[in-house]
Structure 1
Amino acid sequence: MTTILDKILDAKKGQIQELLMNSIPEQTESSFRPSLFESLYQSERLQVISEIKRASPSKGLIAEGVKPAEQAIQYAEAGAACISVLTDTPFFQGTFDDLAEVARTVSIPILCKDFIIHPIQIDYAKHAGASVVLLIVAALEQEKLSTLYKYAISKGLEVLVEVHDSAELNRALQLDAKLIGVNNRDLRNFDVDLSRTAEIAAIFPFEEKRVLISESGIWNPNDATKVSSYGASGVLVGESLMRSGDVGNAIRSLQVKREVIIS
């Protein structure tokens, strides 16, 4: 049975061929951005990675006319720890231009949110101004995952490694990943369940100076408090912020005092 993730990855191969046909200008300098890991580790309040998200396969159009720079300013002013920018076009209507626009506008960490399966995507993310890239364990064989992880690190980028279950967590730990996100959304069918964070947190090696981020399905302070109690030090939030009429208040309402502080 073909899953949504399968369809996305098939389409991604075509996008990569287009990227390979274009040359990326050499960067003469890159803006300094704080470390996302350091901003999350031992934080007293739950930190928010705020996402710029135009659409999704499960919800269709979310914010078709969003202006990335304006949205990024609202996020940064509200105290977001990082801004995630979707750069997948076929399914999420994002672009590397969106990422570059955000990078020119704010100085906080910026995550390139995409289905990365080739080093050229990391090159484009870096050139557009990202300081963090996402690698999804479910999308990659271990050898390719390791190769891309090392490549991103060699480019001076932080890497958020996304997992869905215990087997994928073990694969992330083999990389010695410090930023690990648990996606509460099953990428095979896009169902959401916050208990995924609880399941991963129960076996997560917090004592090894790593941080756990809960991704997807966070809508309100109750959700934030729940994943914080499991041990998450950050949440990645997109749709609820994009639909919010008051971004600042929405972000601040999620910055709950952490119930579990990593020692």
Structure 2
Amino acid sequence: MPDFLDQMARSSADRLGVARQVTTESDMRRAAESMPPARELRLGNDFGVIAEVKRAAPSAGVLRAEVDVAERARQYEQAGAKVVSVLTEPDRFGGSLIDLRSASAGTSLPVMRKDFLVDPYQIYETRANGADGVLLITAVLDDSTLRESLSVAAYLGMFALVEAFNELDIERAQVAGAELIGVNCRNLRDLSVDFKRFKDLRDLIDPDRRAVAESGINTREEFREVESLGYHAALIGSALMREEDPTATLQRLRGECEASR
């Protein structure tokens, strides 16, 4: 049986095929180019939060099937998040490009599309639907596609968070020119979590790149730990989506982090 990551990549390729039938790449590129300038990612020296909107997750089940995405994005901004991440994968995460557009309309923060993208066409699609940044997963992209995707994102003024699971992924991301590298402690092939991966891989990321800790961060102690390892931001999803009002949770995590300095 194909592993989870392979399933998601194949599903993404199927969606890509449908999208191409509706909108040619040249038309999608023109739509992306006609958008206003993308909002700038600003991750300074202070430890930031990328707050995520997702209706469900394979590892957690349904989190919040009915959610006002624009309002959730506003709540994240009010609580001090630096970026809003939006899952657009429909089958296992319940997301859509409509959610992406809603989040973009609901906040002044930069918005990132999180999905299992397999082709540069989807970068144009991402910008055309209001996102300012995009997640790229090294494990589903060959070197040529990764470089081209980064190039398209840069051309459109977007940031790209390049996700890694192991040493080879980090090496490939850096060779391709990634400036923002995420370490995911969840193995997307079998969905297992190894928090130790954050420590094991952090020093492999060059000091001139920015590092993001992704997945499995639910407590103040875990939040402080990834900050102490030298990450510039943490991506928080399930812990926020479980809450009716995520503001207190996000402020508690951020406040505890700031108090530890």
Q: TM-score, normalised by structure 1?
A: 0.91
The aligned residue for residue 122 of structure 1 is 123
CA apart distance, 1:150:
1.1
- Segment drifting more, 244-253 vs 177-186: 244-253
Structure 1 residues 11 and 154: alpha-carbon distance in aligned structure 2, compared to 1, 3 A threshold: same
CA apart distance, 1:259:
7.3
Matched, 1:81 2:82: yes
Q: Say whether the 8 Å CA contact 1:86–1:95 is kept in structure 2.
A: yes
The aligned residue for residue 21 of structure 2 is 21
Structure 1 residues 32 and 2: alpha-carbon distance in aligned structure 2, compared to 1, 3 A threshold: closer
The aligned residue for residue 112 of structure 1 is 113
Whole-Å separation in 1 of the counterparts to 2:9 and 2:100: 20
Matched, 1:227 2:256: no
Q: Say whether the 8 Å CA contact 1:216–1:238 is kept in structure 2.
A: yes
**Residue ranges of structure 1 left out of the alignment (5+ in a row):** none
The runs of at least 4 consecutive aligned structure 1 residues that moved more than 4 Å come to none
Whole-Å separation in 1 of the counterparts to 2:37 and 2:223: 31
Q: 1:41 aligns with which of 39, 44, 54?
A: 44
Matched, 1:248 2:247: yes
Aligned residues: 253
Whole-Å separation in 2 of the counterparts to 1:150 and 1:58: 32
CA apart distance, 1:28:
3.7
1:176-195 map, 5 Å: 176-195=177-196
Whole-Å separation in 1 of the counterparts to 2:122 and 2:35: 19
Structure 1 residues 103 and 220: alpha-carbon distance in aligned structure 2, compared to 1, 3 A threshold: same
Instruction: Provide the secondary structure at the position in 2 that maps to 1:162.
Output: strand
Instruction: Provide the secondary structure at the position in 2 that maps to 1:117.
Output: coil
CA RMSD of superposed structures (Å): 1.7
Q: Say whether the 8 Å CA contact 2:89–2:116 is kept in structure 1.
A: yes
The aligned residue for residue 6 of structure 2 is 6
The aligned residue for residue 73 of structure 2 is 72
Instruction: Provide the secondary structure at the position in 2 that maps to 1:40.
Output: coil
Structure 1 residues 115 and 20: alpha-carbon distance in aligned structure 2, compared to 1, 3 A threshold: same
Whole-Å separation in 1 of the counterparts to 2:123 and 2:260: 35
Q: Which amino acid aligns with 1:125?
A: T
Q: 2:36 aligns with which of 27, 30, 47?
A: 30
1:163-202 map, 5 Å: 163-202=164-203
Whole-Å separation in 2 of the counterparts to 1:204 and 1:152: 21
Q: Say whether the 8 Å CA contact 1:194–1:227 is kept in structure 2.
A: no
Whole-Å separation in 2 of the counterparts to 1:78 and 1:28: 31
Whole-Å separation in 1 of the counterparts to 2:101 and 2:259: 32
The aligned residue for residue 215 of structure 2 is 216
CA apart distance, 1:246:
3.7
Q: Deviation per CA, 1:98-119, whole angstroms, max 9, x where unpaired? A: 1011111111110000111112
Q: TM-score, normalised by structure 2?
A: 0.92
**Residue ranges of structure 2 left out of the alignment (5+ in a row):** none
Once the two structures are aligned, what percentage of the paired residues are identical?
33
The aligned residue for residue 96 of structure 1 is 97
Q: Say whether the 8 Å CA contact 1:41–1:211 is kept in structure 2.
A: no
